Amino acid sequence: MQLYNTLSAKEREALIEQAGKERLTISFYQYAHIGNPQILRNHLFINWDKMEVLGRIYVAHEGINAQLSVPAENFEVLKAHLESISFLENVRLNIAIEQYDKSFLKLKIKVRKKIVADGLNDGTFDVTDKGIHVNAEKFNELIEAPDTVLVDMRNHYESEIGHFKNAITPDVDTFRDSLDIIEKDLSEHKENKNLVMYCTGGIRCEKASAYYKHKGFKNVYQLEGGIIEYARQVEQKKLENKFLGKNFVFDQRRGERITEHVIAQCHQCGAPCDTHVNCANEACHLLFIQCVDCAKKMDNCCSVACQEVVALPYEVQKKLRQGITMSNKIFKKGRSEVLRYKK
C-alpha cells in the first residue's frame, strides 16, 4: 500500500505536462477534534493519490489545513470524498483566483501538533469563542468606519505585495510573532474600537479572533474566507475592491493578482515589482522580489556570490552543498543583507 510520494518534483512536472489536463488550485481548513490524525492522514493519501491530488496538507488533533491542486475532471470526485468525512461536510473550498497547473508537484500530507503554528496554549482560552465572520460587503462597510482598526494577520513578505488600504501590516516573519505585538499596540482600543482582521483564506483569523476576545477585545470581526473569498465576492457582486495588489500564496505561483496596483519594489534595483522568486542557488533558495531585468542580470540569483555558484557545473554545486544544512536565509523572506531595497 503506497502511503508516500514515489516521484520527484521534476518527474511529476513532466507527467503534468504530458497529461495536458486542466488543474484547479484549492484551499480549505476545518477545526475539529480528530482522535487519530495518522489514520486520517493515511486515509486521505490513499484516496487522494488515486484522484491525482497534489498539495501540502497538515492534519492534527485540532483539525486539517489543506492547500492542493486536482485535475478539474476530478473536482466533483474530491468534493464527494470530502462530503463523506463527517467533519468536512459542507466545508468551504476556496478556489484560487489565478490557476496554474503546476502549483503543487507532490502530495505531502503531514501530521502536525497544530494545523497553524500559532505558539498558543489552547487550554488557556476558549478557542470556539471566535469573532464575528463578515462577508465582503459588510467588511467594506466596517473598514470605512472611524471606530474600526483593520489588521493584516499575515507576515511582512505577504503584505508587502498586497494588502487592504489603511490596514495595519505588522512587520513580522511568522504568525506567532504578530499575536502579542498586535495586542500590545492596540491595548488602548479593547473597549472602544472594532478589531477587524483578515488573512489569506481565514484560518489564521479563526484562532486569533478567539485569542483577542480572551484578551479583552469586545468587538472582534474576521473576513470570512479571507482575501481569496473576498476577491470572488467582489467580482460576483460587483462591489468596490478595497484590496491593493497581489495576494501572496504558498505554492509555485507565489502570488495571485487581485488588482492592478503594484505596491512593492524589486529588492535589487528598487523598480516597481511584486514578483516573488526563490534564489536559483539551491544552497540559498532565498525568497525575495526580483524584476525581469535583475533576473536576467543576476541569473535569477539574490547575490553575486550565489550567481558565481550557479555558474559552476551542477555536480560541483552538489558537492559544495554536501554536509551543509540549508541556509537560514531561506527563512528571512526578503530580509537578507544582500538585498539593497529590502523592506
Residues with a catalytic annotation lie at 199
Nearest to 24 by CA among 92, 63, 72: 72
| Separation of alpha carbons 118 and 120, rounded Å | 5
DSSP state of 278: E
Please state, as a whole number, how many other Cβ atoms lie within 10 Å of the Cβ of residue 46.
12
Phi/psi at 223 (5° precision): -75, 115
Half-sphere exposure of 160 (CA within 13 A, CB side): 26
Half-sphere exposure of 201 (CA within 13 A, CB side): 22
Phi, psi of 174 (to 5 degrees): -140, 160
As a whole number of angstroms, the distance between CA 183 and CA 190 comes to: 9
How far apart are the C-alpha atoms of 107 and 325, rounded to whole Å? 24
Q: Determine how many CB atoms are found less than 10 A away from the CB of residue 241.
A: 17
3-class secondary structure, 180? helix
